[in-house]
């Protein structure tokens, strides 16, 4: 580790649970962030500041004026730019040493099949169930840990689905693919601006813990935040032995 890196990451290095060894793991890691909007902004910014060596951003959207109320990686001057390009400018300004890859595309099964296996950790920062299930399926196939977050109106949730652990549930165990779930979009439902920052920061924290091997992850637990009262609830999630996605993964 270079002298300037020792100084930049000194507050991590001072933590006994991380130290130089843990910080070196972060510097060598590759994080795949699906979505460069409300959640993807704080997620990618904290990962970059913390020194995750390579970050791949995937998003097919462009920056819109309505995004700026909460999507802190973007600026008014970048309205009309692809979100991945705008976010990459921010990340490189925060930490020039981080390698940022921009993928302006929808995260479909073919793209995820190519990208997920290259990453050490995957962060789901998207806003629809079809993409969430595609991300989960790819993470199960490639045995990559998935940090999933969601936020709408005043409510948020976060969990970790770790396919490396045969006892850990996957996203489909908690939210079966055939479940009749009403899609909620920020464009029609609204979202409280700091909520995405709270959930996104926690996603980044879980990803950093997974990379550095620190503490206990949220695998098997779903945390739900009610932002109006700022109260957290926790639900235990068991692995579904008949899950159509992960049931046969240990065979």
Q: Is there a catalytic annotation at residue 186?
A: yes
Nearest to 171 by CA among 90, 239, 100, 76: 239
Q: Are 206 and 217 in contact (CB under 8 A)?
A: yes
Measured distance CA(33)–CA(118) in Å, rounded: 12
The single residue of 126, 139, 170, 186 carrying the catalytic annotation is: 186
In 143-232, alpha helices (H): 171-174, 186-189, 193-212
Measured distance CA(53)–CA(57) in Å, rounded: 13
Positive or negative, the Cα torsion across 221, 222, 227, 231?
negative
Token pair listed for 191: 């979202």
Q: Are 44 and 208 in contact (CB under 8 A)?
A: no
Nearest to 192 by CA among 222, 158, 223, 229: 229
Tokens 């990962």 correspond to 47
Q: Are 165 and 126 in contact (CB under 8 A)?
A: no
- Show which residues are catalytic: 186
């Amino acid at each position: 580790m270079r002298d300037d890196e020792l100084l930049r990451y000194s507050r991590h290095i001072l933590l006994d649970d991380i130290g130089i060894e843990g910080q070196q793991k972060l510097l060598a890691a590759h994080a795949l962030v699906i979505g460069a909007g409300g959640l993807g902004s704080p997620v990618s910014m904290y990962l970059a500041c913390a020194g995750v060596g390579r970050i791949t951003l995937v998003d097919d959207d462009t920056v819109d004026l309505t995004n700026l109320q909460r999507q802190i990686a973007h600026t008014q001057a970048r309205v009309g730019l692809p979100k991945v390009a705008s976010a990459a400018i921010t990340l490189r300004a925060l930490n020039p040493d981080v390698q940022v890859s921009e993928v302006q595309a929808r995260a479909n099964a073919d793209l995820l099949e190519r990208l997920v296996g290259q990453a050490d950790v995957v962060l789901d920062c998207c806003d629809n169930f079809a993409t969430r299930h595609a991300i989960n399926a790819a993470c199960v196939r490639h045995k990559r840990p998935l940090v999933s977050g969601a936020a709408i109106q005043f409510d948020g949730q976060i969990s970790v689905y770790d396919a490396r652990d045969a006892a850990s549930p996957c996203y489909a165990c908690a939210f079966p693919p055939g479940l009749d779930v009403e899609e909620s979009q920020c464009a029609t439902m609204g979202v409280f601006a700091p909520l995405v920052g709270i959930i996104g920061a926690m996603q980044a924290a879980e990803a950093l813990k997974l990379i550095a091997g620190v503490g206990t992850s949220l695998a098997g637990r779903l945390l739900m935040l009610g932002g109006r009262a700022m109260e957290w609830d926790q639900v235990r999630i068991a692995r579904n032995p008949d899950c159509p996605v992960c049931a046969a993964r240990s065979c």
